[in-house]
A = this chain, B = another copy of it.
Amino acid sequence: MSFDRLIEKIIELKNPTVVGLDPKLEYVPKYIQRRYLEKDGLTLKAAAKAIYDFNQAIIDEIHDVVPAIKPQAAYYEMYGHYGIRTLEKTIRYAKLNGMFVITDGKRNDIGATMEAYTNAHLGTTLVGENSMEAFGADALTVNGYLGTDGIEPLLKVCRKQDKGIYVLVKTSNKSSGELQDLKLEDGTPIYAKMGDLCEKWGADTIGKYGYSAVGAVVGATYPEMLAELRQRLPHTMFLVPGYGAQGGGAEGLKGGFDANGLGAIVNSSRAVMCAYKKEECDERDFAKAARREVIRMRDDITQYINLK
């Protein structure tokens, strides 16, 4: 219940960032690709195995700097059940390395189906009397368009098993305003209304740092809305995509944090995974380049906030 575990890890490492592991095969250095493509051919299986080696090496290098990873489900589904196996193994490996794992799946459904998603990603699946984790992440991103029926099954597991969710509120993309910025009859924009629902859904799960188990996704690309929502949603922790590659600068993130430098975790994906390409270093140095980038990102962001 609540995001206390994640927040403690953020305080311990003095680093409110998360690395998105969204690995396309083309991000994986050629020498790793060759290991498997030569053995298994140009197959989904070979690609999925290469991606696991890539993820593992990055986790080895960053786990003492960064509190969390955020694997994006889409990039694993692309490789079919082989990719999903890599997702399972990546989550397990990150947890073994003491990292907090947020599966970015933006899942949404109702009733028994939402229970199935909850069991899959955060809870356990029952086979006979045997209860097993299918993925076993610590948190999941979700889409709240279906209302409380889509959130309640998640909350049950958040309360019992110390897990959390991030609901899409104001996303980082250009067209996010098409629906999210429209104003309701009373003048409230839809994204703010969705934010209010997050406060309501999380109300009975507030932890010792003041944040509930129900967080919100709010893009770095709209700094004024990030600051506005920080004020409006005092118990809702933010997951902030859009830093770096999508154009959100570090100073603009400031408004997403509270006076203690808490209340937000900022994601970077491609800039970390492909740091070796940007640096133009030897591809065998990709994991060290990722480490250099996460340290740079940490220092870039923490200079503007008051995290002790």
Specify which of A79, A113, A168 lies most central, judged by the most chain B CB atoms within 10 Å of its CB: A113
In contact, B109 and A74 (Cβ under 8 angstroms): yes
Q: List 12 A-B contacts (CB under 8 A).
A: A22-B116, A41-B130, A42-B127, A77-B84, A80-B134, A110-B171, A110-B173, A144-B179, A147-B175, A148-B175, A185-B187, A190-B190
Q: Are B113 and A72 in contact (CB under 8 A)?
A: yes
Contact, CB under 8 Å: B111 / A80:
no
Interchain CB contact under 8 A, A78 and B119: yes
Interface residues of A (CB under 8 A from B): 22, 24-25, 37, 41-44, 46-47, 72, 74-75, 77-85, 87-88, 106-114, 116-117, 119-121, 125-130, 132, 134-135, 143-150, 168, 171-180, 182-185, 187, 190, 193-194, 197
Q: Which residue of B lies closest to A143 (CB)?
A: B143
Task: Compute how far the CA of A175 lies from the CA of B148 in the bound complex, rounded to whole angstroms.
Answer: 6
Tell me whether A176 and B147 are in contact (CB under 8 A): yes
Residue pair A147, B106 in contact (C-beta under 8 Å): no
How many subunits of this chain does the assembly comprise? 2
Tell whether, in the assembled complex, residue B42 and residue A129 are in contact, meaning their CB atoms are under 8 Å apart: yes
Residues of B within 8 A of A182 (CB): 184-185, 190, 193
Decide: A81 near B78, CB < 8 A? Known: A130-B42, A176-B149.
Answer: no
Q: How far is the CA of A132 from the CA of B42 in the complex (A)?
A: 10
- Does the CB pair A74–B114 fall under 8 Å? yes
A132 touches B81 (CB 8 A): no
CA distance A183 to B187 in the complex (A): 10
CB distance from A118 to the nearest CB of B (A): 9
Q: How far is the CA of A79 from the CA of B125 in the complex (A)?
A: 7
Closest to A120 in B: B77
Closest to A37 in B: B128
Closest 8 CB pairs of A and B: A147-B175, A147-B178, A42-B130, A74-B116, A80-B134, A77-B120, A42-B128, A81-B85
A173 vs B144: C-alpha distance when bound (angstroms): 13
Are A77 and B37 in contact, with the CB atoms below 8 A?
Answer: no
Q: CB distance A81 to B79 under 8 Å?
A: no
Which among B135, B144, B194 is the interface contact of A80 at CB below 8 angstroms?
A: B135
- The answer to whether A183 and B180 touch across the interface, beta carbons within 8 angstroms, is no
Complex Cα distance, B176 from A22, in Å, reads 31
> Other than the known A22-B116, A80-B120, what 19 A-B pairs have Cβ atoms closer than 8 Å?
A72-B113, A74-B113, A74-B120, A77-B116, A77-B120, A78-B125, A80-B85, A81-B81, A106-B109, A143-B145, A145-B180, A146-B171, A146-B173, A149-B174, A149-B175, A149-B176, A178-B197, A182-B190, A190-B190
Q: A25 contacts B127, CB within 8 Å? A: yes
